[in-house]
């Protein structure tokens, strides 16, 4: 593709008609087990939910500069504005004592549904769209000073976007494509970080025999929403900046972010037998405590292909509580007819207990978490905390 053609395109927030066209297109990739009407309806419902409403969800199109509302746009994607926390190591003070970094509440973005129609693929459109995306999401003062001349003028900043400290996506096309998509041709884009999963086979009797439902407070929809609110507060107190890093960051689970993991497919999950009653458990003693220290929340992956899976969306546990927690989660999975239980990025201190219960940890080949930090620090100096399923989109 010639540079002239790239410079004739730019990134625009989609018109309502372009949003529908983009969804019609992506149905072939992500709506295979639904009719087009069901797929469009699911997104209509999703638009009204907390993770998306009030301008948090923007569909973007790469379209001709001279016809930005055209339905013949060449590529599209979605961004979700969210809240996150960031800890940064300040420069050492003159007396040499390191101060403890305080968390800052920041704007950040989840990115999803990157799509180019089959007939237009291989022309560099998606890569160009992703490069331009930094220019509408990132905190302006952190963007490179110069926009590549061969791309024409930068995309216009729009309401509800911008001020971003970091963004993340979950790549289903490997590590390289998004890494190449930086804000300039010589800067890196999204870097894959720790795509680890731990899975248990639900038939592991060792676990089922230890399940004790009476140890737990069972969380229905209202219960998990309340837990994620409290968890979002707790995160500021319980996490920090690990040694050897200059920055650490995390998405927060409240404001619809973790709820998206089950609300998105609720029309399918509602068909499970028995009907799903609970989306999480927390240790009974936690109900009174200021800091929640033992809980799991979950969703279910039942769309084909793939094994039916109870996927843990957010987890916190001490090693001594973990076996009891997982045994109960396993019993839930069995009751709902799931074949396995999966958790992303299980903390190191829980790995040996997990293995003793038959859990196997491996590097996933799909949904690879990848982040772009917009500050001056290098990606190798940035720790992604709570790199769990709850923030996937």
Q: How far is the CB of 134 from ligand COA (least distance, A)?
A: 15
d(CA 192, CA 235): 23
96, two tokens: 């040499």
Q: Quick check: 76 and 113 in contact, CB under 8 A?
A: yes
Nearer to ligand COA (CB atom), residue 90 or residue 174: 174
Nearer to ligand COA (CB atom), residue 126 or residue 219: 126
Q: How far is the CB of 117 from ligand COA (least distance, A)?
A: 7
Strands (E), 231-387: 247-251, 280-283, 295-301, 309-316, 340-344, 360-363, 368-373, 382-384
Nearer to ligand COA (CB atom), residue 110 or residue 359: 110
Q: How far is the CB of 174 from ligand COA (least distance, A)?
A: 4
d(CA 297, CA 228): 9
Nearer to ligand COA (CB atom), residue 200 or residue 371: 371
Encode 155-194: b = buried (16+ Cβ within 10 Å), e = exposed: beeeeebbebbbbbbbbeeeeebbbebbbeeeebbbbbbe
d(CA 34, CA 31): 5
Q: How far is the CB of 327 from ligand COA (least distance, A)?
A: 35
Nearer to ligand COA (CB atom), residue 215 or residue 265: 265
The SS3 call for residue 292 is coil
Q: How far is the CB of 73 from ligand COA (least distance, A)?
A: 12
Q: How far is the CB of 119 from ligand COA (least distance, A)?
A: 10
Torsion of CA 319, 321, 322, 327, to 10 degrees: 160
Q: How far is the CB of 28 from ligand COA (least distance, A)?
A: 8
- Residues of this chain that interact with ligand COA (CB under 6 A) are 29, 75, 114-116, 121-127, 171-174, 177
Nearer to ligand COA (CB atom), residue 116 or residue 299: 116
The SS3 call for residue 143 is coil
**Cα 340 to the center of its chain, rounded Å:** 21
293 CB neighbour count, 10 Å cutoff: 15
Nearer to ligand COA (CB atom), residue 124 or residue 144: 124
The SS3 call for residue 253 is coil
Q: Quick check: 193 and 250 in contact, CB under 8 A?
A: no
Q: How far is the CB of 38 from ligand COA (least distance, A)?
A: 19
Alpha helices in 108-147 (DSSP H): 125-137
Q: Which residues contact 204 (CB under 8 A, 6 or more apart)?
A: 330, 357, 358
Residue of 37, 33, 62, 388 lying closest to 228 (CA atoms) = 388
Q: How far is the CB of 19 from ligand COA (least distance, A)?
A: 17
d(CA 61, CA 71): 9
d(CA 372, CA 375): 9
Nearer to ligand COA (CB atom), residue 171 or residue 309: 171
Nearer to ligand COA (CB atom), residue 5 or residue 357: 5
Does the N-terminal peptide bond of residue 207 adopt cis geometry, omega within 30 degrees of 0?
Answer: no
Nearer to ligand COA (CB atom), residue 6 or residue 343: 6
């Amino acid at each position: 593709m010639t540079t002239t053609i790239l410079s004739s395109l730019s990134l625009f927030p989609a018109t309502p008609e372009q949003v529908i066209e983009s969804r019609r297109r992506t149905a072939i990739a992500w709506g295979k087990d639904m009719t087009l009407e069901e797929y469009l309806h699911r997104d209509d419902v999703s638009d009204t939910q907390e993770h998306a409403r009030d301008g948090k969800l923007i569909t973007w199109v790469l379209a001709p500069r001279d016809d930005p509302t055209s339905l013949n746009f060449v590529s599209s994607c979605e961004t979700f504005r969210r809240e996150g926390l960031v800890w940064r190591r300040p420069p050492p003070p003159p007396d040499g004592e390191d101060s403890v970094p305080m968390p800052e509440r920041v704007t950040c973005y989840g990115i999803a549904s990157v799509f180019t129609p089959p007939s237009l693929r291989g022309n560099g459109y998606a890569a160009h769209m992703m490069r331009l995306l930094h220019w509408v999401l990132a905190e302006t003062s952190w963007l490179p000073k110069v926009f590549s001349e061969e791309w024409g003028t930068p995309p216009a900043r729009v309401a509800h976007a911008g001020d971003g400290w970091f963004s993340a996506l979950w790549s289903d096309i490997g590590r390289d494509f998004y890494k190449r998509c930086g804000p300039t041709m010589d800067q890196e884009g999204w870097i894959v970080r720790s795509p680890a999963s731990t899975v248990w086979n639900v038939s592991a009797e060792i676990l089922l025999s230890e399940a004790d439902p009476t140890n737990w407070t069972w969380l229905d929809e209202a219960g998990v929403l309340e837990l994620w609110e409290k968890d979002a507060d707790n995160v500021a107190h319980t996490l920090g900046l690990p040694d050897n890093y200059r920055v650490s960051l995390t998405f927060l689970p409240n404001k619809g972010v973790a709820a998206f993991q089950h609300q998105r497919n609720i029309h399918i999950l509602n068909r499970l037998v028995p009907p799903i009653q609970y989306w999480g458990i927390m240790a009974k003693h936690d109900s009174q405590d200021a800091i929640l220290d033992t809980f799991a929340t979950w969703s279910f992956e039942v769309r084909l292909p793939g094994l039916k899976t109870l996927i843990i969306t957010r987890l916190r546990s001490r090693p001594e509580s973990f076996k009891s927690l997982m045994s109960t989660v396993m019993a839930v999975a069995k009751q709902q007819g799931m074949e396995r239980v999966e958790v992303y990025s299980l903390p190191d201190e829980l790995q040996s207990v997990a293995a003793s219960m038959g859990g196997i940890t491996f590097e996933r080949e799909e949904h690879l978490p990848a982040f772009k930090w917009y500050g001056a620090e290098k990606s190798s100096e940035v720790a992604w905390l709570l790199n769990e399923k709850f923030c996937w989109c």
